[in-house]
């Protein structure tokens, strides 16, 4: 049996990370963006969207002003991720210290960890040597430090990284941590472009970066494995290309367990899916859900912890 984890913004939220609506409010206070960009942000929100819709609109701009606004908004978002990273540095990762209830013990049980997040939470608190499970370490494949020199500080864990095409491969003895939409501290190593996918054209933008194309190929292959199980934590099911990959796995028997404040209703709550959609198609493949936060599941909620951990049996 292959056990796979996919995380979204709701995962990092357990350690203080911001959700999309909080990111919108953060951006309003950024001096990097001008009033016109703020107006665009408000228009996106009032039409039922978010800051990613503003990014998509600016990405289609044909004039230099629009391109500059896109660059400035992207820079503000990187600043937001950096602020989150500094916050993550200053807090404990574990919610209590009994080994069987450690988040790290839980994470070590997966054959692969995929994320849609661009923050550096797991780089700071999980990557490296791991205890438990069948792997001795967890690493991000296909990237290398932009500056190989290391001072051994916590900041080194979130130092700038660049794509490393020579190592687009998975090591059997290492648990892969794969960032499907890139990271706030990555660039492509040649032009210096940020490998950071946001906005309304994710599938198209992903194809511009070989490392992300490879990542998504690996994601699809993991989901297609026989007797595969996917746990989804804090993902709103709002990215069509991710849903399509999961649907391909479901067609081959993939089983799903969802951790989200909405539980299984996170699927029914989606607005962009046609009537029926995945909510009906995936019914037979959903093997459970939890509506409780990780701060409870991996702290003192013994009953819920036992239910979540049945995913591995």
Q: What angle do CA 236, 221, 202 make, to 5 degrees?
A: 45
pLDDT at 275: 44
Element holding 35 (H helix, E strand)? helix 35-46
- What are the average pLDDT values for consecutive 10-residue runs of the chain, which has 313 residues? 97 95 93 93 90 87 87 92 93 93 96 97 93 89 84 75 93 96 89 82 81 97 97 93 93 96 84 51 92 96 96 94
List Cβ<8 Å contacts ≥24 apart for 245-251.
Answer: 245/216, 245/219, 245/220, 247/278, 247/281, 247/282, 248/220, 248/223, 248/224, 249/220, 249/223, 249/224, 250/281, 250/282, 250/285
Report the distance separating Cα 246 and Cα 237, nearest Å.
10
pLDDT at 269: 56
Q: pTM of this prediction? A: 0.93
Q: Cβ atoms within 10 A of the Cβ of 125, count?
A: 20
pLDDT at 174: 95
pLDDT at 80: 94
pLDDT at 271: 46
* CA distance readout (Å), 95 to 15, 34, 99, 101, 217: 10, 40, 11, 9, 34
List Cβ<8 Å contacts ≥24 apart for 278-285.
Answer: 278/237, 278/243, 278/247, 281/247, 281/250, 282/247, 282/250, 282/256, 285/250, 285/253, 285/254, 285/255, 285/256
């Amino acid at each position: 049996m292959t056990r796979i984890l996919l995380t979204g913004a709701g995962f990092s939220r357990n350690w203080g990370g911001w959700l999309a609506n909080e990111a919108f409010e953060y951006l309003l206070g950024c001096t990097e963006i001008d009033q016109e960009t703020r107006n665009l942000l408000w228009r996106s929100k009032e039409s039922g969207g978010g800051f990613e819709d503003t990014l998509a609109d600016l990405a289609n701009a044909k004039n230099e002003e629009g391109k500059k606004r896109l660059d400035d908004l992207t820079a503000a978002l990187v600043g937001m991720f950096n602020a989150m990273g500094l916050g993550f540095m200053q807090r404990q990762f574990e919610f209590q210290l009994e080994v069987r209830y450690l988040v790290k013990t839980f994470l070590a049980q997966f054959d692969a960890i995929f994320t849609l997040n661009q923050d550096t939470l797991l780089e700071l608190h999980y990557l490296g040597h791991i205890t438990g499970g069948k792997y001795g370490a967890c690493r991000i494949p296909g990237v290398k430090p932009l500056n190989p020199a290391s001072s051994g500080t916590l900041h080194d864990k979130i130092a700038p990284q660049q794509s490393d095409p020579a190592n687009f491969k998975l090591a059997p003895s290492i648990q892969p941590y794969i960032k499907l939409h890139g990271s706030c501290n990555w660039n492509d190593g040649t032009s210096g472009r940020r490998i950071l996918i946001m906005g309304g054209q994710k599938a198209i933008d992903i194809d511009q970066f070989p490392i992300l194309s490879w990542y998504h190929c690996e994601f699809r292959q993991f989901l297609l494995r026989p007797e595969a199980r996917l746990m989804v934590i804090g993902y709103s099911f709002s990215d069509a290309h991710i849903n399509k990959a999961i649907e391909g796995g479901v067609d081959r028997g993939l089983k799903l367990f969802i951790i989200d404040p909405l539980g299984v209703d996170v699927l029914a709550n989606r607005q962009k899916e046609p009537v029926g959609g995945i909510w009906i198609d995936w019914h037979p493949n959903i093997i459970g859900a939890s509506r409780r936060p990780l701060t409870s599941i991996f702290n003192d909620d013994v009953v819920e912890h036992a239910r979540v951990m049945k995913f591995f049996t």
